[in-house]
């Protein structure tokens, strides 16, 4: 084999290793939103005889219904009803234990005694189902009206008196048959317009169609552009609404007719501009279907105005509009078919405009990225890999040229990996997946793979097998050679393991990367990588720094063996995070994979030592067997959510949700929001040093504040949306909301107890 061919094979192997680490990251990057329940479980009913009604569910692929959650009740016109269901598929369910389920189709038969003069019967059908992805719909209730065949000697009209439907069913409440027309598409049922009255006032006009209404308390508004903000007036200042008894939300206030709502605009610049209002709304058809929550984006040209918040009076008749925009709703028209008691999507609570965060320019972002990458070297998540690199450079002190090659190879691994990671994140965000720093550690397979890599390197340093990681060993394995490949791979590992950490200066730099132009964003990621690699570049190219390294000697063998234990600790930490994501079963499967990996390396070492060829076969079989526990691990469901309120180290904490936050703010309570994740090392450091201390508990009590924690260990679209609105590139994110309303205050990534005390004290004023 020629030298050129050997180098090419080594280079391709290194590229494959990078791809293997990074390509698996987006495999399950974001949850797929569940479709409307009535598109998944299509319900119908028909009377095949006066005393026999068939209730049918057509079930979409990848979904199933529970037998024990299925029931049917009838009106008084159909006495002594009994429901017969076929036997289902038996299996052990994570939610309900031993259950029977149905797929593709379910036909239940209801038998009873119809009244002699009954022309139809009302059925109340209850059921619940889930997706194979591990997400369940809430329990569902539907009311169906079924026409009964005429009694002997009667004429079969096929229609119920006074109804336009045929002999199948009508969805809705008990009076669903009174709805004479099919539901309108959402954009026709609820039209919306936005008018700029002046530079500091917008007018929102909402017009429900005749026979439709909008919920007043489901309205939300926010301006998408920086430097502009608005909010709905308090309920007392909103247009008068009609009291209404609603089957979903109880006693509510709704709008049956057109309403106009003035929106004051707070601005930081006077110049005219274009802006977009993000409008949230929800409504229903009277005695008919309810629409899921909708989001619309209304563009408008805003004239020049004054800096600050204007005082606005109710507007009765708007002047000639400066600009008008009619919405194109985000919700598709097909969503209008959702019945009134469908609870697939919970209405979003009113949300205030998030605190404004300044984004630096490109030059400032590059400098901040360089400093943040440099500080990443001090983070505990990078320490095990950097210890290996330091040992490699210490041994390379035999020559300046060798030290430079080591430093350059390591830097190349860091820069290319950081560039690949940045390009991946930006591509996924442009595709609509809002992913941030450290997102790959939300994927169980990535966690398991990284833990196995750290475990394998630890076994190598402990002497079970030998790989060239810059320590002078030569084998035929992937990491063989003169150390250049090992240095490159060490740079790759440093980048992957650095992502759970967030250093000072990184937040502002990554904020620019995630919101600025693509070319500038990639430069920020490269500069971040350069900062991470800078200490080793200085050691390789500046003799004064190289002289700080200890001289090679016999001590290095002992130190090499000691370095195995930080690697084992890193593997243990990754497995602990894996347990948080998929439970104890995931840990058991990872341990099986680790045993197979150790067996493969042991057999390979025996084969390299000149043993029989059968040891190579055993090593290959053990490596192939690794696929089984990893595939099983990937299919594991998420563990059930923990309780919503807990106490940790004496500090009461409430699980974060948009609704809970809105409710607490409406009560006038200060709120401290902590967005965290088990894989976030910076988060855990703050929790250990700040949030578990008596000073934090005392500050909460003095401010009468609530401590809310959002767990972003696994993918959570609601938390992702919250992070996006606050221009956060990932976790941790700390926001302190003052009592009595107003903007929240975003705290730095790295906290001290004094910072938190000051913020809570200010929020309580």
DSSP symbols for 562-588? HHHHHHHHHHHHHHHHHHHHH-HHHHH
650-667 pLDDT tens trace = 788 888 988 888 888 888
**Quick one: tokens of 113?**
């005694």
Q: Which of 504, 462, 503, 468 is nearest to 483 (CA)?
A: 468
Place of tokens 């998944």: 40
Domain 186-337: CATH superfamily is: Thiol:disulfide interchange protein DsbD, N-terminal domain (2.60.40.1250)
- For residue 569, what pLDDT is reported? 86
509-568 pLDDT tens trace = 776 776 678 888 889 889 989 998 898 888 888 877 767 766 666 666 777 788 788 888
- For residue 244, what pLDDT is reported? 85
Task: Show Cβ contacts of residue 172 under 8 Å, excluding neighbours closer than 6 positions.
Answer: 143, 179, 287, 288, 289, 339, 340
Give the torsion through C-alpha atoms of 552, 555, 560, 563, to 10 deg. Answer: -110
Fold matches, 37-178 and 186-337? yes
- For residue 515, what pLDDT is reported? 65
> What percentage of the chain reaches a pLDDT higher than 90?
17
Q: The whole model's pTM is what?
A: 0.47
**139 touches 37 (CB < 8 A):** no
- For residue 406, what pLDDT is reported? 81
Rounded CA separation 231/749 (Å) = 28
Q: Which of 276, 265, 268 is nearest to 232 (CA)?
A: 265
- For residue 453, what pLDDT is reported? 84
Q: Which residues of the chain have pLDDT under 50?
A: 1, 4-6, 8, 10-32, 153-180, 311-351, 353, 432, 434, 467-482, 642-644
User: Which CATH fold topology does 645-763 show?
Assistant: Glutaredoxin (3.40.30)
- For residue 395, what pLDDT is reported? 58
Measuring CA to CA, how many Å separate 150 from each of 46, 80, 119? 14, 20, 7
- For residue 511, what pLDDT is reported? 66
Chain centroid offset of residue 153 CA: 62
- Domain positions in the chain are 3-30+360-444+467-563, 37-178, 186-337, 645-763
- For residue 273, what pLDDT is reported? 87
- Residue 120: how many other CB atoms lie within 10 Å: 22
Q: Which of 229, 324, 298 is nearest to 269 (CA)?
A: 229
Q: Which of 273, 270, 290 is nearest to 337 (CA)?
A: 290
Q: Indicate the CATH number for domain 37-178.
A: 2.60.40.1250
As a whole number of Å, the end-to-end CA separation of the chain is 77
Place of tokens 């408008």: 300
- For residue 167, what pLDDT is reported? 36
Parallel, antiparallel, or unpaired: how do β-strands 651-655 and 706-711 relate? parallel
């Amino acid at each position: 084999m020629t030298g050129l061919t050997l180098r090419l094979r080594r280079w391709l192997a290194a590229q494959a290793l990078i791809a293997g680490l990074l390509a698996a990251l987006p495999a399950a990057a974001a949850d797929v939103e569940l479709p409307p329940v009535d598109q998944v479980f299509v319900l119908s009913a028909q009377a095949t005889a006066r005393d026999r009604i068939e209730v049918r569910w057509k079930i979409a692929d990848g979904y199933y219904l529970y037998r024990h959650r299925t029931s049917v009740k009838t009106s008084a016109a159909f006495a002594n009803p009994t429901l017969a269901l076929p036997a289902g598929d038996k299996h052990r369910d994570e939610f309900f234990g031993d259950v029977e389920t149905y797929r593709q189709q379910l036909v239940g038969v209801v038998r009873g005694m119809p009244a002699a003069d009954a022309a139809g019967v009302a059925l109340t059908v209850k059921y619940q189902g889930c997706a194979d992805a591990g997400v369940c719909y809430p329990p569902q209730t539907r009311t169906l009206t079924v026409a009964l065949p005429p009694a002997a000697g009667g004429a079969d009209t096929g229609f119920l008196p006074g109804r336009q439907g045929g002999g199948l069913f009508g969805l809705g409440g008990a009076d669903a048959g009174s709805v004479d027309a099919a539901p309108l598409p959402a954009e026709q049922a609820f039209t919306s317009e936005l008018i700029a009255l002046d530079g500091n006032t917008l007018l929102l006009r909402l017009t429900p169609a005749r026979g439709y209404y909008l919920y007043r308390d489901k309205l939300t508004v926010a301006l998408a552009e920086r430097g502009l903000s608005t909010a709905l007036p308090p309920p007392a200042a909103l247009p008068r609404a009609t009291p209404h008894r609603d089957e979903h939300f109880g006693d509510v206030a709704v709008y049956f007719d057109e309403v106009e709502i003035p929106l004051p605009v707070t601005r930081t610049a006077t110049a005219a501009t274009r802006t977009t209002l993000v409008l949230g709304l929800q409504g229903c058809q009277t005695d008919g279907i309810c629409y899921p929550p909708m989001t619309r984006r209304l563009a408008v040209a805003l004239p020049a105005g004054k800096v600050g918040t204007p005082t606005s009076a109710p507007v009765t008749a708007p002047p000639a509009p400066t600009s008008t925009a009619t919405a194109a709703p985000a919700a598709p028209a097909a969503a209008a078919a959702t019945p009134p008691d469908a609870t697939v999507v919970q209405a979003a609570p009113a949300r205030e405009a998030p605190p404004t965060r300044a984004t630096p320019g490109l030059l400032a972002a590059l400098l901040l990225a360089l400093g943040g990458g440099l500080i990443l070297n001090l983070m505990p998540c990078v320490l095990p890999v950097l210890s290996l690199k330091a040992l490699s450079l210490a041994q390379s002190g035999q020559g300046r040229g060798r030290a430079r090659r080591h430093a350059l190879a390591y830097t190349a691994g860091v820069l290319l990996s950081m560039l690949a990671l940045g390009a991946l994140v930006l591509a996924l965000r442009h595709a609509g997946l809002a992913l941030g720093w450290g997102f790959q550690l939300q994927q169980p397979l990535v966690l398991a793979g990284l833990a196995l890599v750290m475990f394998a390197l630890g076994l190598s340093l402990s002497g079970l097998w030998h790989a060239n990681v810059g320590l002078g060993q030569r084998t035929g394995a992937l990491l063989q050679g003169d150390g250049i490949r090992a240095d490159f791979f060490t740079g790759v590992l440093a980048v992957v393991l650095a992502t759970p950490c967030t250093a000072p200066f990184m937040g502002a730099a990554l904020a620019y990367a995630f919101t600025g132009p693509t070319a500038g964003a990639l430069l920020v990621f490269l500069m971040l990588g350069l900062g991470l690699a800078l200490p080793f570049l200085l050691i390789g190219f500046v003799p004064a720094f190289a002289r700080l390294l200890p001289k090679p000697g016999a001590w290095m063998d002992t130190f090499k063996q000691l370095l195995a234990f930080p690697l084992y600790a890193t593997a243990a930490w990754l497995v602990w995070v894996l347990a948080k994501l998929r439970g104890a079963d995931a840990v058991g499967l990872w341990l099986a994979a680790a045993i197979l990996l150790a067996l493969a390396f042991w057999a390979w070492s025996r084969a390299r030592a000149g043993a029989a060829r059968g040891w190579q076969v055993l090593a290959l079989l053990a490596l192939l067997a690794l696929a089984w526990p990893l595939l099983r691990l990937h299919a594991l469901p998420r563990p059930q959510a923990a309780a919503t309120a807990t106490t940790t180290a004496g500090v009461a904490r409430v699980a974060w949700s948009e609704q809970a936050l809105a409710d607490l703010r409406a009560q006038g309570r200060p709120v401290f929001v902590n967005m965290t994740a088990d894989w976030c090392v910076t988060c855990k450091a703050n929790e250990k040093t700040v949030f578990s201390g008596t000073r934090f508990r005392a500050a909460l009590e003095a401010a009468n504040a609530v401590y809310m924690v959002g767990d972003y260990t696994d993918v959570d679209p609601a938390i992702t949306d919250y992070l996006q609105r606050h221009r956060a590139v990932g976790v941790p994110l700390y926001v302190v909301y003052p009592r009595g309303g107003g903007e929240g205050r975003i705290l730095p990534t790295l906290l001290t107890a004094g910072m938190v005390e000051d913020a809570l004290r200010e929020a309580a004023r």
